């Protein structure tokens, strides 16, 4: 892991390095908050603030996920997410604690805070996952406001894509837009893991999924064991990148299983990435997949296929460091 930038006053906004919003001092004993990408720094700040004000771990990871969901400059989570190939923005999210609590939504529409709807699924239904029209109806029933998620920017990107791709389903189409395979704009789902001094943990993962996907496509993010997994006494893991490659191997559950068997979080992340590479061979050329892991002692792991995956770690003092994950392949 390569130190990238340290942010003692927690950052707000998309780029951690440019964050300026200071927060009052205060520590949360034993806290570690870990999230995907540099914009995770702002999410971590919100999660840390929630813990510091007496919130639970679930309150914290929900608060963290809500930050990129509301960010109009983030085109892969929540509001302003890139739409599917028919022009509908559909959101996927999951939230999970280490006591068997799980809630998720997939293909949710017209609702900014998918992570909060996922939490309601966990807390107010006997189910763990609601999808599509049913998820959207549940969001309305629960009082979440109806709002179009498509913005002029995301609509323009979709219309440009339609001209070139001619409506053909395509994995990894983000690379057409960013031209930086592996980087922050290539599949920038947010996955968060949080831990407190007592070794308890929770996690959240929220995304608008693959840009210009087929209608109805759901990736790894809302699927327990793929985009997120948390287990009491062991730790948690979350993923980002091309979801199909994670789902194929139930990636986050595999990371946690490795840790359960004695691997460190770093070893566990490396094992699953190497497994995907071996399993898929040429099929994953130019594809980004990244994993983060956190064990109950607060040790962190990160590994990915391609260079460019960054992540944010916040400690008990509330200091956030953005790091570059090591990758299996060079550019
Ligand atoms: C998914 N991992 O749906 C998520 C988000 C993403 O391109 O990276 N999309 O596959």
**What is the DSSP code (8-state) at residue 13?**
S
Give the pTM.
Answer: 0.91
CA of 280 from ligand 1 middle (Å) equals 18
**Which sequence positions are flagged as catalytic?**
189
| Helices 114-124, 57-69: crossing angle, 10 deg rounding | 150
CA of 49 from ligand 1 middle (Å) equals 27
pLDDT in tens, 179-192: 555 554 456 789 99
Give the chain's mean pLDDT: 90
Q: Which residue in this structure is represented by tokens 């209608």?
A: 215
**Are 238 and 262 in contact, with CB atoms under 8 Å apart?**
no
pLDDT reading at 9 higher than 80: no
pLDDT in tens, 188-217: 789 999 999 999 999 999 999 999 999 999
Q: Which residue in this structure is represented by tokens 């550019």?
A: 331
pLDDT reading at 220 higher than 70: yes
pLDDT reading at 14 higher than 50: no
Q: Which residues contact 271 (CB under 8 A, 6 or more apart)?
A: 254, 255, 258, 263
Cross-strand partners of 324: 2, 310
Within 10 Å of residue 325's Cβ, how many Cβ atoms? 24
**Are 284 and 270 in contact, with CB atoms under 8 Å apart?**
no
Residue 211 alpha carbon, nearest atom of ligand 1 = 7
Q: Which residue has the CA at smallest separation from atom 10 of ligand 1?
A: 243
- Would you state the structure tokens that stand for residue 257, as one six-digit string? 């299983």
- Would you state the structure tokens that stand for residue 328, as one six-digit string? 């299996």
User: What's the number of CA atoms in the CB half-sphere (13 Å) around residue 240?
Assistant: 36
Which position has the higher pLDDT, 221 or 27? 221
Q: Is any ligand 1 atom within 6 A of the Cβ of residue 170?
A: no
pLDDT in tens, 93-119: 999 999 999 999 999 999 999 999 999
- Classify residue 182 as left (phi > 0), alpha (psi -120 to 50) or beta: left
pLDDT in tens, 237-252: 999 999 999 999 999 9
Q: Is any ligand 1 atom within 6 A of the Cβ of residue 207?
A: yes
Through-space distance between the first and last CA atoms of the chain, rounded to whole angstroms: 16
Domain positions in the chain: 2-10+24-327
Q: Could you tell me which CATH class the domain 2-10+24-327 is placed in? A: alpha beta
Distance CA 309, CA 288 (A): 8
- Would you state the structure tokens that stand for residue 82, as one six-digit string? 């890139």
Residue 219 alpha carbon, nearest atom of ligand 1 = 3
């Amino acid at each position: 892991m390569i130190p990238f930038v340290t942010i003692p006053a927690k950052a707000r906004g998309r780029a951690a390095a440019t964050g300026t919003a200071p927060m009052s001092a205060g520590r949360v004993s034993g806290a570690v908050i870990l999230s995907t990408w540099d914009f995770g720094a702002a999410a971590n700040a919100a999660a840390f603030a929630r813990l510091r004000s007496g919130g639970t771990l679930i309150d914290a990871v929900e608060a963290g996920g809500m930050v990129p969901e509301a960010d109009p400059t983030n085109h892969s989570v929540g509001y302003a997410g890139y739409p599917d190939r028919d022009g509908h923005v559909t959101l996927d999210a999951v939230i999970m604690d280490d006591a068997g609590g799980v809630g998720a939504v997939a293909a949710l529409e017209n609702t900014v805070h998918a992570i909060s709807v996922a939490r309601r699924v966990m807390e107010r239904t006997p189910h763990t996952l609601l999808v599509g029209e049913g998820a959207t109806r549940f969001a309305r029933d629960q009082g979440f406001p109806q709002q179009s998620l498509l913005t002029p920017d995301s609509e323009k990107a979709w219309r440009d894509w339609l001209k070139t791709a001619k409506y053909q389903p395509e994995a990894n189409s983000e690379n057409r837009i960013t031209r930086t395979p592996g980087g922050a704009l290539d599949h920038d789902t947010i996955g968060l893991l949080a831990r407190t001094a007592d070794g308890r943990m929770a996690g959240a993962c929220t995304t608008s999924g693959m840009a210009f996907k087929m209608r109805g496509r759901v990736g790894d993010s809302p699927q327990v064991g793929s985009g997120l997994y948390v287990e009491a006494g062991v730790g948690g893991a979350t993923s980002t990148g091309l979801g199909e490659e994670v789902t194929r191997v139930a990636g986050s559950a595999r990371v946690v299983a490795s840790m359960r068997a004695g691997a460190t979080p770093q070893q566990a992340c490396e094992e699953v990435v190497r497994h995907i590479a071996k399993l898929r061979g040429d099929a994953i050329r130019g594809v980004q997949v990244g994993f983060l892991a956190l064990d109950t002692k607060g040790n962190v792991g990160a590994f990915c296929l391609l260079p460019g995956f960054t992540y944010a770690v916040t400690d008990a003092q509330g200091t956030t460091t953005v790091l570059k994950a090591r990758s299996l392949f060079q550019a």
